[in-house]
Structure 1
Amino acid sequence: MRPPSIKSIGLAPCFIILFMLSPAPVSGQPSIVVLPLESEAALDSKSELNERLRDAIGRQMRQPVRDNIEFSLDEARVTFDCDDENARCMAETGRMFRAPFLFWGSIRGYGPFVLSLSGLDVNRESISYSITVQFETTRAMATAMNDVVKSLIDGNEYRPPHRLTAITSQPADANVFLDGELIGQTPLSYSLVNREGGQLVIKKGRYATASQFIENTRGDAPIHFVLERLPIFQPEATDDGVEYQVGGTHSWPLILAITGSVVGAVGLGAGSYYGLENQRLEGEMQANIASQAPTIEKRSIDGVLRQDFEHSQLMANLSFGLGAVALIAGAYGFYKYLKNPDTTVLVDGDRLIYEVRF
């Protein structure tokens, strides 16, 4: 009989110790074993994540899960000289615990976090379950653990809960179409999570149509459109010729013309008033000089009149200047308005058929 090898002699005490430390399986149905999650960062919520993972696997598999497993994934690699992608070696870990199924996982990154879970049928030595999901926070991971495990067991892709995408436009109140269907007006919140594809179209009168192709969005990034104003006249072909429809507004020249005229008239009126006031004050100063009043009194009156005269002269100059500028602006507004009126024109070749002013 060949004596046992040194390697087998060295591993025997390890197996004995591991079996002594591992809790005995519950009576009846064998217990599933879930190894503690391996993580790069020191996570305060790691114990909570492990507990939620065990509870979720037991609930989805409808089998008891053994508690208080301290045997780590690193220890499994060292003990059986394998990695977590080697089904045979991981099955050895499951047999060590006399478990029908073994699950393990890891958390990579420091935010966002990538959760990877795997599981195998110990008897078949085949990795039957595998899933990888990314989370922004460990809190989100803990909250979604049951849904992730359900996707793991069912073999489906994990789809996060629907989040609403903010869709806005400048200007607002634009119609929003998704694949040709009207879904609302901006600003709008709508779920676009995990769409395989779709055309988002924004339409608003007198503005150019904007669009964006939606593909595999996570639903957390807002979408904003800046709509381009269309030119004033938009030609459209008709049976009778070319019809030019108004696509904008020409209100600003008319507003400028009216405002300039009013401000100009007020300015000229104020300038005229202060001009007459200057003449009156100048006459009073002449009369004061010719009066027979004492010199001291004449100087006092002359100082007051001269101060009022300078103030009135300044106001007259400012009023006339402001009035002149306003009248020039008003004249420019009238010129622009008369040059480009709001019209709808139907032409046939070079011949004008009719014109409607409104």
Structure 2
Amino acid sequence: MRLHWLVPGLIALALGGFHPRSAFAQSEISATAVLGLEGFDVPTTLTDEMSEQLRQRVASTRDMRLVSGKDLIEVKLVFSCADEAATCMTQAGKSLDAHKLIYGSVKRSGDDYAVWLKMFDVRRAKIESGLTETLPRKSADPAGIKAASARWFAKLTGRPVNIGSTVQVTSNVSGATVLWDGIALGTTADLPLTIADVAPGKHALVVSKAGHVTAKSQVVVAAGQAVPVVNVTLQPSPEQAVKAVAKPVTKNAPATQAKDSDVQAPAPGDIQNEHAGGGRGGYRAGFWVTFIAGLASAGAAVKFGLDVADVNKRLDPYRRFSCMGNQLCDAKGTVRPALTTAEKNSVSTLNDEGSRDQTLQWICVGVGSALGIASGYLLYKGYIDSDGEHPQNQARHGLRIFPTAGASSSGIVAEFDF
């Protein structure tokens, strides 16, 4: 009886179940490629830093997916599009599997830099947005480029500028390196070093310069906070060299002093021996250095000598001697023809190689001989010489020579005691 109400109700219910697809579907993620910016009379590091900052912006945007891109110059060469025509850029975007392209150029404008950027829609084959801005030269550092890229990206995409907090760092020393979270961002100067787009949270600040004590601190940044200037004071490094001073031993020292320390004062002779032995440390170290270097020189001399012998051996087939009238013979007496031009060139090359090896051999012999003499002197001064030792210890240290005699022979025995 109420069927006339049932049919319209079912129809309304069925239609109510169909909502527009866009009401539930998530926003589409656009594959975006940032082409390396083209530079005109500007440093390559500047265009590389700008391109990298734009890529980081794309990568950090939720509805964008960064795809690998090439330099704009390379794209122009590959697709022959000197004027960046729409058809050409469309082909480039499709080859990169990108929905959108961000590209542009940088040109010097006086002391500053003029920046042109465009966002190209590959599927629609047209420029979606563009901008022209000037980057001051004083802002052409990593921190300044990072802040500027945030503005550029916001203008190209229509998104709000997502710039974090700002930190400024100064120091009492100019030219000090500033590390922010382990990344070098610049050096201190008369004007504060600006660190832009700083994420909220704790950050490590390190300021260092040669000849000064490194300053380390922690900076806490709140969201959107403009942190006041952080002034870092660097102190000069203290002197590292400390001279050891020996305390004199008093002959009539109180008995209670020895009892309290439980250490018996050394005899004057022992103190003298201790300082004498300590003074030999430099001679002994020098002996081992010159000894090892002398061995290395001797080894090199042997090596180059073997090289000379090898060259002579390789020259044997080319040697010619007069024999049997006007004929030429080799070293074995076999008649051989005269050397050709190629063989003469080979002989010349081998002679040059042999002369070089022989020169190096004699240099190593000379250096090794000098090192051997120096090593012998340092051996004597460091281990054998007994000057300055106490008389009671002279018989126990250094070189001792004993004559020997037997029924059929005689000689001497040398004994080293270090």
- The answer, yes or no, to whether TM exceeds 0.5 is no
Normalised by the length of structure 1, the TM-score is 0.33
Q: Larger RCO: Structure 1 or Structure 2 (Cα < 8 Å, ≥ 6 residues apart)?
A: 1
Normalised by the length of structure 2, the TM-score is 0.28
